Amino acid sequence: MKFTIAQPALLNVLQTASKAVAVRTTKQVLTGILLQAEAGRLIATAYDLELGIRVEVPADDVNMLSVQEPGAIVLSARYLADVVRKLPNREVSVGVGSNYMTEIRCGEVEFHLHGIDAAEFPLLPVFQSSQSLQVTSEHVRELVRATAFASATSEVRPILTGVHVELGTGRLQFTATDGLRLATRWIGSAEAGESAWNVIIPSKSLVELAKILPDDDVPVQLYVSDSHSLFVVGTTHFYTRLIEGTYPDTTRIIPSTHRTEVAIDADLMADAVDRAALIARDRENHMVRFEISGTSIQVSSSSSEIGNVSERIQANRMEGDDLSIAFNARYVLEALRALAADEVVLQFNGPNQPFTIRESGAENGLQLISPILWR
């Protein structure tokens, strides 16, 4: 293998790919980045067995890529990225010699790094075009932001550490739950009518994906196979492994009726709950109480060790029965943050039933939270 490329272009590729390099592993090849030089393009791949990133660079006038000899090599991500970062901003030449010894040359600088046979690198799957869907990066970011935080962090029920991604009935829907709260969000999709599928993608991988998506609104192609999902953004391929199993049916726990409905300014409510949470301790499940009486809501919290707090806020609108309910402040704050709306609508079914929070006037998802039972 032998190619030349401008230093900033090579560094950029390595930095994107290196987000998927394995940190703690006994498999040495996974601590490296796979570089493949083919006619007119360079491909860098990293894969920690859960998350894979493959970046492709087609030759152009800016990156000055020129492939003299096609081939592939795996180089230690840590050293490769450091080496390239510290090279001068000039043309870099990379060539593999015997025994996978790789020469990196830039001006008068010459590094030799021990490489690993590219054949040892796990092959990322090739996707059939049958199960694919086009969305936008803005939508993906929105779907992940509104749901991934609600997935479980403990491995007690491994399936809940993922986000349930469903296509069907005219929409693409993301759902996550840890058993005590649930977040779901959907977007309409014209392609959803044609096929239906559902997969469980690890939340951690989706959060990483949201981080590397470009800030401007670009098309994202989503593919799924039996073992992986793939998000293609431009020339960057983002692979995640799927979680094994069947996601629990969450439609049954979302209430279809309500006895109390409150519309309130989201910031007003978030600020009040945030203040009350100062007294609500971790040991007491961050318990904050709402006493709803007409449009007036008393927000309070007390701790035998620290003291207590109470505050009265005004709802914009209230229908149905008065109510007293206690909840985990952390869950409510995270849900409000995920909704990012000016006004939210809360629907309750008494103090012992889960309640929902939705964006006012939008039909795009909801946050469901179990109350804390208290006398």
Question: Taking Cα atoms as reference points, which of 253, 307, 259, 298 lies closest to residue 280?
Answer: 307
Residue 122 or 219 having the CB closest to another protein:
122
d(CA 116, CA 122): 12
Residue 181 or 241 having the CB closest to another protein:
241
**Residue 334 near another protein by CB under 8 A:** no
Residue 166: CB minimum distance to another protein, A: 17
Binding pattern for the stretch 148-187 against another protein, x by CB under 8 A and - elsewhere? -------x--xx-x--------------------------
**Residue 114 near another protein by CB under 8 A:** no
Among 104, 172, 187, 243, binds another protein (CB under 8 A): 243
Residue 352: CB minimum distance to another protein, A: 31
Residue 122: CB minimum distance to another protein, A: 4
Among 95, 115, 202, 365, binds another protein (CB under 8 A): 202
CA distances from 88 to 11, 108, 190, 201, 242 (A): 11, 10, 49, 40, 41
**Residue 226 near another protein by CB under 8 A:** yes
Count of Cβ atoms closer than 10 Å to residue 342 Cβ: 11
Query: Is the separation of the CB atoms in 137 and 213 below 8 Å?
Result: yes
Window contacting another protein (CB under 8 A); options: 138-146, 189-197, 223-231, 310-318? 223-231
SS3 121: coil
Binding pattern for the stretch 269-308 against another protein, x by CB under 8 A and - elsewhere? ----------------------------------------
Question: Taking Cα atoms as reference points, which of 333, 320, 228 lies closest to residue 274?
Answer: 333
Phi and psi for 338 in degrees, rounded to 5? -70, -30
**Residue 100 near another protein by CB under 8 A:** no
- Site size for another protein, by CB under 8 A? 28
Q: Which helix (H) or strand (E) holds 100?
A: none
Among 185, 241, 258, 358, binds another protein (CB under 8 A): 241
* Residues in CB range of 86: below 8 A, 6 or more apart: none
**Residue 34 near another protein by CB under 8 A:** no
Among 24, 252, 283, 375, binds another protein (CB under 8 A): 24
* Residues in CB range of 194: below 8 A, 6 or more apart: none
Burial of 132 (0-12, 13-18, 19+ CB in 10 A): middle
Count of Cβ atoms closer than 10 Å to residue 243 Cβ: 19
d(CA 279, CA 284): 10
Structure tokens at 101: 């010894």
Residue 123 or 373 having the CB closest to another protein:
123
Residue 185 or 241 having the CB closest to another protein:
241
**Residue 203 near another protein by CB under 8 A:** no
Catalog residues that contact another protein under the rule CB under 8 A: 24, 26-30, 49-50, 117, 119-123, 125, 155, 158-159, 161, 202, 226-228, 241-245
